[in-house]
Amino acid sequence: MQRIVIYVMMILWLAACSGGKSSKSPMQQHRGHSNVKGGVYLEKQHEKPKANSAPVDKEKFITMMVKKHGFNRQQLRKVLEQTNKLDWVIGLMDKQAPKSGSSNVPNGAWIRYKNKFITPSNLPKGVEFWNKYDKDLQRAYKEYGVPPEIIVGIIGVETGWGRVMGKTKIIDALSTLAFYYPRRSQYFANELEDFLVMCRDEGVDPFDLSGSFAGAMGYGQFMPSAFRHHAVDFNRDGHTDLWDPVDAIGSVANYFKAHGWQRNKKVAVVADGQALELDTGFSTKYPVEHLTKAGLKPKSSIDGHKEVSLLRLDMGNSYQFWYGLPNFYVITRYNHSTHYAMAVWQLGLAVRKAR
Ligand SMILES: [Ca+2]
């Protein structure tokens, strides 16, 4: 995952040495330590695998891990035997069923959502985070093209800049959902797979890591598959650690770049006018002239785009329409929601303004 040539690493490593680090992340505290009964590390074992693996079955999952990743069968079985089935996690998952269609009468849904994040008491916390990690944010902007306000916005919405990173043992959450939640068991079995590989490769006891009830980890709440594909060792200490704010900053930036973020391009542009008859949302696509005919006009340049998505924010007494540009869509790759993406962006801009 590290794509930086050696001399850059050395320069950055030297730069990092002058910085000084305060508290240890869970990964740093627990690296090389095991609290699994019987002293279990997830070591490799060379064993001939069986064919026909089906990860939703625990034994078949273990066989797959042995075959695909060289895990030690006995150790992995022991690890999974020590996990707890969390029925409340299944309950919460069921509550997150897909939402029904939105109403056509404004009731302030966007205002309520936004007010969870963009508040007078929250902004100084964002300013503090930004100031503390400004150098790293600038470096992420330089390397990945993703500006500080987007990274600050994501980490702010996800965890309040590291204040709320989740207290559920990730291995309990993921094994519960992988083996006891039929609706999405394959998805979570894949996440459990990536989680166990991460723990082994990073030398961390899987029972030492906590996160969200769905298994999201660290400052940016990466799922294990996002760790595997997009996490980077941004402070160049040889470990990729989502509980380290600097690694999290680089990882979020890398995630955005991989999903098509365009450097120095706009995110969305607010419009004059109303178009209540049109479908809205981050995945809609309209030729710009179609929206003009419908009565909308962007309040500033839309960077020459011929097609945009149409976003609608419920302001309480009325709707506000926005032209969504490709970078807005990229934010929704983190969480598939117009409200989410708009809150990330606007929170980041509000923190920038408050600095
Ligand atoms: Ca690191």
Residues of the chain short of pLDDT 50, as ranges, are 1-22, 34-55
- The answer to whether the CB of 42 falls within 8 A of the CB of 206 is yes
Instruction: Give the pLDDT score at 11.
Output: 39
In sequence order, which residues have a C-beta less than 8 Å from that of residue 256 and are 6 or more positions away? 144, 146, 150, 330, 331, 333, 334
Instruction: Give the pLDDT score at 49.
Output: 33
Burial of 28 (0-12, 13-18, 19+ CB in 10 A): middle
Instruction: Give the pLDDT score at 53.
Output: 38
Instruction: Give the pLDDT score at 97.
Output: 58
Give CA–CA dist 73/65, Å, rounded: 8
Give CA–CA dist 58/49, Å, rounded: 15
Ligand 1 center to 238 CA (angstroms) = 6
> For 256-311, how does the pLDDT look when each residue is reduced to its tens digit (9 = 90+)?
999 999 999 999 999 999 999 999 999 999 999 999 999 999 999 999 999 999 99
Ligand 1 center to 245 CA (angstroms) = 9
Give CA–CA dist 352/355, Å, rounded: 5
Sign of CA dihedral 22, 25, 26, 30: negative
Give CA–CA dist 78/57, Å, rounded: 15
Instruction: Give the pLDDT score at 42.
Output: 41
Ligand 1 center to 351 CA (angstroms) = 26
Ligand 1 center to 144 CA (angstroms) = 17
Per-residue DSSP letters for 159-224? HTTTT----EEHHHHHHHHHHH-GGGHHHHHHHHHHHHHHHHHHTB-GGG-EE-TT--BTTTTB-H
Q: Supply the pTM of this predicted model.
A: 0.85
Which residues belong to the active site?
A: 158
Ligand 1 center to 30 CA (angstroms) = 14
Ligand 1 center to 150 CA (angstroms) = 21
For residue 298, count other CB atoms closer than 10 A to its CB. Answer: 20
Domains of the chain: residue spans and CATH: 60-89+167-216 (1.10.8.350)
At 281 the three-state DSSP class reads strand
Instruction: Give the pLDDT score at 310.
Output: 98
Ligand 1 center to 82 CA (angstroms) = 29
- The answer to whether the CB of 206 falls within 8 A of the CB of 118 is no
Ligand 1 center to 311 CA (angstroms) = 37
Q: In terms of Cα–Cα distance, which of 226, 284, 211, 215 is closest to 259?
A: 226
Ligand 1 center to 75 CA (angstroms) = 27
For residue 264, count other CB atoms closer than 10 A to its CB. Answer: 9
